[in-house]
Structures are given as C-alpha cells and as structure tokens.
Amino acid sequence: MMSSRFSFEVVNALDYDELRPSYAPEAVTWVAERSSLRSGSVVVDLAAGTGQLSRRFAPLGVDLIAVEPAANMRAVLEKRMPTLRVEEGTAELIPSADCSVDAVVVGNAFHHFERMKAFAEIRRVLRPGGVLALFWAWSLEQEQLSLPLLREIDQVVEAARGSNDIATAYRSWSEMPPPAAGFGPFERREFPVTHVILSARLADLYATSSDVASMPQPDRAELLAEIGFMAIELPETLHLPARTVVDLCVRIEEEAGAEESG
C-alpha cells in the first residue's frame, strides 16, 4: 500500500503522452481473447493517464471508459481521443455501477493504489466472470548492456532516488501477485516491444516517472541535468528492447452466503 497518493498533476502531461513506452498490441489481443471481449463489451481503463492503453483497446469496438484522477492527464486524453468517455475517478472510487463492467485494465499504475480498497472496488464494478488485467511496461535490462552508457544512467538514477515509497511499491509487482479476495489466481504473460525515443528527450522521459517526479525539486533538477549531459554521448535515436507484462485474473462468482477469502 502506498503511504500517500502521488499526484500526476506535477508531471508534464504532453511529455508523458509523447515519451512513455506503449504496450505491445499482442498483449492487448491476448487480454481481449482471454476476456472474450466483443463489440459492446464494457471496458474500464483505470488510471488511464493520457490514454496509451485506451488507444490500444479502442479499435476493438468495445464500450471504453477511461477513468483518471489527474486533470492535466484527462485534458490531454480528451484532446487525443475526443470521442472517448473520460471520467474523473480513482481505483478506490470508480464511477461505474455494480456489476456493470466486463473488464478493468490498468496500465503501469496499480502500485499507486491502496491495494485492498482497489481490489474491492474493482470487484464491485466487474460482472461475475469479468477480468482484471494489470499491464506493466518494463525494460529488458540485460539487452541494454549493448549500450553501457544506458546502464550508467540507470545507476545514476537509482542512486539519486534511493528506496523511496514509490520505487519500493513498483518493484513489489515484479513477481506475479497472489490471489486477491473475490478473484481467481493471476496468470502472467510477457510480450516483447521496442521503445523508440530520441536520446535528447531521455531526461524528459525520466521526469515523467513518479519516483523521479516525487523527488525534492533541487535533487530532481540536478539528476535530470546529469541525465541530459550523459545522453549527449548516446546515438541520436534509441531503440530500447522492452516487454509488456500482463497479470490477469477473473472475478469469482461466489455462492450465496459464502464468505470471501484470500
């Protein structure tokens, strides 16, 4: 559980939209098939940000609802996807009726939620048999050794941000999570993807990360300046091998009178 909620209002939403890694199309296809999604299925993109995950699900023809607490993120999302239904809300207070949703998807954000409250609220809005899919955008660190300077930059970032609450919460999801009350066991799939970014924007990318954005301003400014200086020696365009990891579970329909467990 996070000790306090990080506000993405402090992050440049345009940089976030342009620079953050996207998700492998094959990962979305797998979730759609696993969830039996079809035209008219109701899907909630929870903590939708500026819509990286929504843009992957929209072509499926589902009834998509993007829920995002940060006004700056919602503004970019509404501009990018003007026909999308965008709602203000959080994982602990989702603006959907009980048992009204076929799938809830979360892109790289569950570590910001109050875990037990979020699971309970997601279970409330999901129909029995509905699916929760947690998407994670992770690098393939061993592949990045072909550019040792990237490893050096990552080490500089690790040393600067230390073991803050956000970084610790994020790392806690590196292993497949245990079952939550009212849900079946998680299953995990991984899909390769390439993150393409100009090296001149590398510091701007790091600035969109909550564990960096939450640092004290002087420390953050010093770190981003160092990243920018080091990135001068990198190739102009970076093709970073990465992976989309998906943790998926199904909402259980419990027998009348049965107590929740897990």
Segment 97-126, tens digit of pLDDT = 999 999 999 999 999 999 999 999 999 999
Tokens matching residue 114: 């109050």
- Per-position b or e across 103-135, b if 16+ CB within 10 A of its CB: bbbbbbbbbbbebeebbebbbbbbeeebbbbbb
What is the pLDDT at residue 180?
A: 95
pLDDT reported for residue 255 = 52
Q: What percent of the chain has pLDDT over 70?
A: 92
- d(C-alpha 193, C-alpha 138), whole Å: 10
pTM: 0.91
Per 3-state DSSP, the chain is made up of helix, strand and coil in percentages (nearest 5) of 40, 25, 35
Distance CA 146, CA 196 (A): 16
Query: How confident is the model over 171-191, as pLDDT tens digits?
Result: 889 889 999 999 999 999 999
CB 113 within 8 A of CB 93: no
Question: Which residues share a beta bridge with 198?
Answer: 237
Task: Give residue 251's pLDDT.
Answer: 97
How many residues does this entry show for the chain?
262
Distance (Å, whole) CA 257 – CA 262: 16
Q: 98 Cβ partners below 8 Å, 6+ apart? A: 124, 125
Q: Which of 101, 73, 57 is nearest to 6 (CA)?
A: 73
pLDDT less than 70: residues of the chain? 1-5, 141-146, 163, 255-262
